[in-house]
Chains A and B, each alone.
Chain A
Amino acid sequence: EIVLTQSPGTLSLSPGERATLSCRASQSVSSSYLAWYQQKPGQAPRLLIYGASSRATGIPDRFSGSGSGTDFTLTISRLEPEDFAVYYCQQYGSSRTWTFGQGTKVEIK
């Protein structure tokens, strides 16, 4: 089973700053099967990125995804007040199961 490890656990930044979130897989993951989600308190998750780098419908272009193999990154170029939330990476495995990372909280500094 592939394990996804996200870092850092918490990122303290100010609005306007750049956020770089990491997702590392315990073994190689197809980029096609790597997605990122945003979750705010009391809300359901929202799909941000699929296929490691494709933005979902309606997602602002300040969000971007990159990476391959075992290392993937979500970048928020300039943080807006509404971007402070928890972010999860997710992969779809060959065993037909899905796995989430443990999440990175982006908080206001």
Chain B
Amino acid sequence: EVQLVESGGGLIQPGGSLRLSCAASGFTVSSNYMSWVRQAPGKGLEWVSVIYSGGSTYYADSVKGRFTISRDNSKNTLYLQMNSLRAEDTAVYYCARVAITMVRGALRPYYYYGMDVWGQGTTVTVSS
């Protein structure tokens, strides 16, 4: 069964650090684009970061320089290292697999993107 299970959330003081984990089963993390998405209490979804299968990483401006996405291929696990945490980082953090579907067009292939597998989320609360 294809599954993602997050862990590592908790209560942390402002300025502190936390590392979230996302253990995958049924597929290989390193062969896929993998992403983190968060949702503040009562708010909408906010994209946080992505790591490509080739290893390139990208971040939302709101977390750039403070958060680091990485993976451990031997453990088939995705991570999010969060430093210098702020109250506004309080949210449920989801990891997700990005599915890329190729469709052959008349002149060239097209690539469709969608986050097709999600974990159940882990809650991070930043408060003193």
Contacts and interface: CB of A to CB of B under 8 A. Distances in A.
Interface of A: 1, 32-33, 35, 37, 39, 44-47, 49-51, 54, 56-57, 86, 88, 90, 92, 95-103
A54 B116 contact: no
Interface of B: 35, 37, 44-47, 50, 56, 58-61, 94, 99, 101, 103, 110-116, 118-121
A50 B84 CA distance: 35
24 contacts: A32-B111, A35-B114, A35-B115, A37-B45, A37-B115, A44-B119, A44-B120, A44-B121, A45-B118, A47-B99, A47-B116, A50-B113, A51-B110, A51-B112, A51-B114, A86-B44, A90-B47, A92-B113, A96-B56, A97-B47, A98-B47, A99-B47, A101-B44, A102-B44
A37 B115 CA distance: 9
Given A32-B111, A50-B101, A88 B45 contact: yes
A79 to B, nearest CB: 21
A98 B50 contact: yes
Q: Interface residues of B: mostly helix, strand, loop or mixed?
A: strand
Contacts of A50: 99, 101, 112-114, 116
Nearest to A36: B114
**9 closest residue pairs by CB, A with B:** A50-B114, A51-B112, A44-B118, A98-B47, A35-B114, A96-B58, A100-B45, A103-B44, A92-B113
B119 to A, nearest CB: 7
B69 to A, nearest CB: 13
Given A51-B103, A103-B45, A96 B113 contact: no
Contacts of A100: 37, 44-47
A32 B121 contact: no
Contacts of A49: 114
Contacts of B99: 47, 50
A56 B116 contact: yes
